[in-house]
Amino acid sequence: MFNLIDLIDLRLLLVLSPVTTAIAWTMLIHQQFNLKNPWGF
């Protein structure tokens, strides 16, 4: 039988891992665009 805390941790991991990776990708892409485009557009 699962503990409630373990179940919540599993769900948090499943939800947060894609979100964190998406944020990291957007930050990387924005940094690259800012390096290529100094005006920010």
Rounded to the nearest 10°, the torsion over CA 9, 15, 17, 19 is -140
- Predicted TM-score (pTM) of the model is 0.50
Per-residue model confidence as pLDDT tens digits over 8-38: 888 999 999 999 999 999 988 888 776 666 6
In this prediction, residue 29 carries a pLDDT of: 84
End-to-end CA separation in angstroms for the chain: 54
State residue 2 phi and psi, 5-degree precision. Answer: -80, 150
In this prediction, residue 4 carries a pLDDT of: 80
In this prediction, residue 34 carries a pLDDT of: 66
Contacts of 34 (CB under 8 A, 6+ apart): 40
